[in-house]
Structure 1
Amino acid sequence: MADEVQERAGVTVLVCDPDGPLIATEQDALDLIGAAFVGAQVVAVPASRLDERFFSLGTRFAGEVMQKFVNYRLRLAVVGDIAGHLAASSALRALVEESNRADHVWFVPDLDTLDTRLRATA
């Protein structure tokens, strides 16, 4: 499946292909943002597509990517199991908890959970 724009819970979402290219640079994030400009309000990125540096907060890559989405007023949903990363980093756990309380960046285990979150914010 290619990246695909879908209507999910009444919101236009760019659902990224789990087998798509790795997001390893700020430019990769900007390319996703550009792809979302077909009308998507949310970009759902499989956690498996994020470079390992995203989950190591000392690299600042996660912050750079998340800030790009905020700057362009797009919501980012990281979709998938990140339990291993969370177990290894209390700082990442704190970031995920804080992000999930807000409305710009969410970490969800699957698309069904994303749909539930989208319905709750509508």
Structure 2
Amino acid sequence: MDINIHEVGEFQIAEVTSEGFVINDKEDGLDLLGNLYYQGFDHVILHKDNITSDFFDLKTGIAGEILQKFSNYRVKLAIIGNFEVHQSKSLQNFIFESNKLRQINFAESLEEAIKKFSH
């Protein structure tokens, strides 16, 4: 796992990259949040390909628990990827509502994710 730092205005964004999964389960997500929070990051970008597909099946509860912790700690999160491949209406609604609130964002590109943090 690598952390690329993007500086935007007065804050730093941690972009987490990896060859494999960074988040396989709830514990991985909470460990990642704790690690990044401890390092002083309050803006995080993850890539969809580094997250288990179970995360995007809302019935598993993985997304809910992890994203709730990011919200509780006021760490803004953007997940980059193509989400149209997921046919779940509930997931599409979740993505739409999350993007409106701007604490948790789903974006198609790194540039879009950084832009969402800038507003």
TM-score (norm 1): 0.86
Deviation digits for residues 12-71 of structure 1 (CA, Å, limit 9, x no counterpart): 111011425330122211221123222211110100111111111111111111111112
Separation of aligned partners in 2, 1:58 and 1:12: 33
Match of 1:23 in 2: 23
| Other-structure match for 1:90 | 89
- Residues 118 and 9 of structure 1: CA distance in aligned 2, closer, same or farther (over 3 Å): farther
Corresponding residue of 2:117: 118
Residue 11 of structure 2 is matched in structure 1 by 11
SS at match of 1:84: coil
Q: 1:2 to 1:13 in 2, by over 3 A?
A: same
Inter-partner Cα distance in structure 2 for 1:2 and 1:95: 28
For the residue of structure 2 that corresponds to 1:3, the secondary structure is strand
- Residue type of the alignment partner of 1:66: L
Quick one: distance in 2 between partners of 1:63 and 1:117? 21
How many residues were matched structurally?
118
Counterpart contact for 2:81–2:107, Cα < 8 Å: yes
Deviation of the 1:10 alpha carbon: 4.3
Structure 2 distance, partners of 1:16, 1:119, is 18
Residues 21 and 51 in structure 2, CA contact (< 8 A), matched pair in contact too: no
Question: Are the counterparts in 1 of residues 56 and 91 from structure 2 also a CA contact under 8 Å?
Answer: yes
Identity across matched positions, percent: 30
Q: Deviations over 1:89-114 (max 9, x none)?
A: 00001000000000210000111001
Indicate the residue corresponding to 1:50 in structure 2.
51
- Paired letter, 2:11: V
Contact 1:9–1:118, Cα closer than 8 Å, also in 2: no
* Distance in structure 2 (CA, Å) of the matches to 1:22 and 1:119: 25
Query: Is 1:64–2:65 an aligned residue pair?
Result: yes
Q: Distance in 2 between matches of 1:29 and 1:6?
A: 21
Gaps of 5+ in 1: none
